[in-house]
């Protein structure tokens, strides 16, 4: 069975964006970029919630025209060429080799299909819904050395405890700590 891998950047105070929705604080140094690239190599489908999708589609189709960062130059063609799934109940159409799904069971069915793993990038609402249904297998959390003082929380409030097992941790360039957890 395929895995769903959750890859997310967070601040030290546990926010995935700033108080005004800003996402200008993650620093993608060489080591963190290599970690991200290794995750991407494991998958054949990118998975997004609507909000993250809107940010991704606003940047990646023409990313090389606004940035010459090595990570951007490597990842932009991969992003454009990889099938994508957006989970949304409001989005009606999407381009860039993207399907729209609106039922959690549709994502569970994707896990049962043959292929490489699925990469869920960013966001907290879709991650929370998939976690509630036991669909996320690995949590890769990059903690950046910044305190944002507000914004969307990494984990939404839950009714019950979520036990995770630390599998790996490492410090990357720019003081980013990446932790990989599996469901306990």
* Closest to 113 (Cα-Cα) out of 99, 125, 127: 99
Q: What does the pLDDT read at residue 184?
A: 86
Q: Rounded CA gap, 160 and 70, in Å?
A: 41
Q: What is the pLDDT of residues 71-125, one digit of tens each?
A: 999 999 999 999 999 999 999 999 999 999 999 999 999 999 999 999 999 999 9
What is the value of pTM for the model shown? 0.95
User: Which sequence spans correspond to the domains of the chain?
Assistant: 4-183
Dihedral angle over CA of 101, 138, 57, 70, nearest 10 = -160
Q: What does the pLDDT read at residue 62?
A: 95
Q: What does the pLDDT read at residue 174?
A: 77
Query: Helix 104-112 crosses helix 125-132 at what angle (to 10 degrees)?
Result: 70
In order along its 184 residues, the chain shows pLDDT tens digits of 999 999 999 999 999 999 999 999 999 999 999 999 999 999 999 999 999 999 999 999 999 999 999 999 999 999 999 999 999 999 999 999 999 999 999 999 999 999 999 999 999 999 999 999 999 999 999 999 999 999 999 999 999 999 999 999 999 997 999 999 999 8
Token digits of residue 116:
């490489």
Question: 91: how many CB neighbours lie within 10 A of its CB?
Answer: 15
Q: Rounded CA gap, 6 and 144, in Å?
A: 16
Q: What does the pLDDT read at residue 104?
A: 95
CATH class of 4-183: alpha beta
């Amino acid at each position: 069975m395929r895995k769903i891998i959750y890859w997310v950047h967070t601040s030290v105070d546990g926010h995935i964006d700033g108080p005004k929705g800003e996402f200008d604080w993650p620093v993608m140094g060489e080591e963190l970029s290599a970690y991200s690239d290794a995750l991407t190599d494991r998958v054949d489908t990118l998975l997004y919630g609507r909000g993250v999708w809107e940010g991704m589609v606003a940047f990646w189709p023409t990313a090389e025209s606004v940035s010459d960062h090595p990570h951007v130059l490597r990842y932009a063609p991969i992003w454009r060429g990889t099938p994508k799934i957006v989970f949304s109940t409001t989005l009606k159409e999407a381009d860039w080799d993207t399907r729209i799904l609106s039922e959690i069971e549709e994502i569970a069915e994707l896990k049962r299909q043959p292929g490489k793993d699925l990469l869920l990038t960013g966001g907290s609402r879709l991650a929370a819904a998939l976690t509630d249904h036991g669909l996320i297998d690995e949590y890769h959390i990059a903690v950046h050395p910044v305190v944002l003082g507000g914004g969307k929380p990494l984990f939404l409030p839950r009714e019950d405890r979520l036990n995770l097992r630390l599998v790996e941790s490492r410090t990357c360039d720019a003081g980013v700590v990446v932790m990989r957890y599996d469901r306990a």
